[in-house]
């Protein structure tokens, strides 16, 4: 199954869970700077707002991004950023909390990749691993090997990589919704 198909399954489970348990959509902190495309209704008194994922219509031109960062991006990374607009893709992975990078309306994906490349270069590292999220309580980055598509955790202190899954599809498929 494709990344988009796996993400569709995840978001259907998320929306079903919130509908069955709360008769609402998921909630996220309201950001007045963000385009309101994903918002459902107005923010509450605690500055949270209901939201829903939307299939992405205007896709990113990755050829420009790849030229700027001087490397082709793995197809799973491009599909992840071109499938849906969403505020949250998170849950439990083997009892650990996992949170993947949101794809928000108006997000400057080009700047995101340029920042990652610049950070690795400033650390004297080869820009090969694309950070796509984090896992707790270990506080480790979740990185995709841009050459193979395999997913690793990276210890921030030692820079040691540990294989998490063989693909982004496998990782997203295994995320269980976090019961609030």
109 C-beta neighbours (distance < 10 Å), count: 16
pLDDT tens for 24-63 read 999 999 999 999 999 999 999 999 999 999 999 989 999 9
Is the pLDDT score of 157 beyond 90?
A: no
The pLDDT of residue 123: 79
Closest CA to 110 of 64, 49, 156, 166: 64
Rounded to whole angstroms, how far apart are CA atoms 107 and 54?
Answer: 14
Is the pLDDT score of 119 beyond 90?
A: no
Is the pLDDT score of 2 beyond 60?
A: yes
Rounded to whole angstroms, how far apart are CA atoms 45 and 63?
Answer: 43
pTM equals 0.93
Average pLDDT on 57-73 reads 92
All structural domains of the chain, each given as residue ranges with its CATH number in brackets, are 3-174 (3.40.1580.20)
How buried is residue 26: exposed, middle or buried, by Cβ count under 10 Å (0-12/13-18/19+)? buried
Q: What is the largest CA-CA distance in the chain?
A: 50
Buried b (16+ CB within 10 A) or exposed e, 117-153: beebeeeeeebebbbbbbbeeeebbbbbebeebbbbb
Average pLDDT value over all residues in the chain: 93
Compute CA distances 54 → 12, 13, 36, 61, 81, whole Å.
11, 15, 12, 19, 12
Is the pLDDT score of 141 beyond 70?
A: yes
The pLDDT of residue 180: 54
């Amino acid at each position: 199954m494709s990344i988009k198909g796996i993400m569709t399954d995840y978001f259907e489970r998320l929306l079903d869970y919130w509908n069955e348990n709360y008769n609402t959509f998921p909630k996220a902190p309201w950001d007045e700077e963000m385009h309101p495309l994903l918002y459902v209704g107005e923010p509450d008194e605690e500055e949270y707002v209901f939201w829903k994922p939307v299939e992405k219509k205007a896709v990113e031109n990755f050829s420009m991004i790849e030229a700027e960062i001087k490397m082709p991006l793995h197809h799973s990374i491009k599909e992840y950023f071109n499938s849906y607009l969403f505020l949250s893709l998170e849950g439990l992975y083997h009892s650990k909390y996992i949170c993947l990078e949101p794809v928000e309306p108006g997000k400057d994906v080009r700047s995101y990749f340029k920042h990652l490349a610049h950070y690795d270069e400033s650390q004297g590292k080869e820009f090969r691993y694309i950070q796509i999220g984090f896992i707790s309580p270990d506080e480790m980055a979740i990185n995709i090997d841009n050459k193979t598509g395999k997913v690793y955790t990276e210890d921030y202190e030692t820079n040691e990589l540990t294989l998490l899954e063989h693909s982004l599809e496998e990782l997203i498929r295994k995320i269980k919704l976090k019961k609030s």
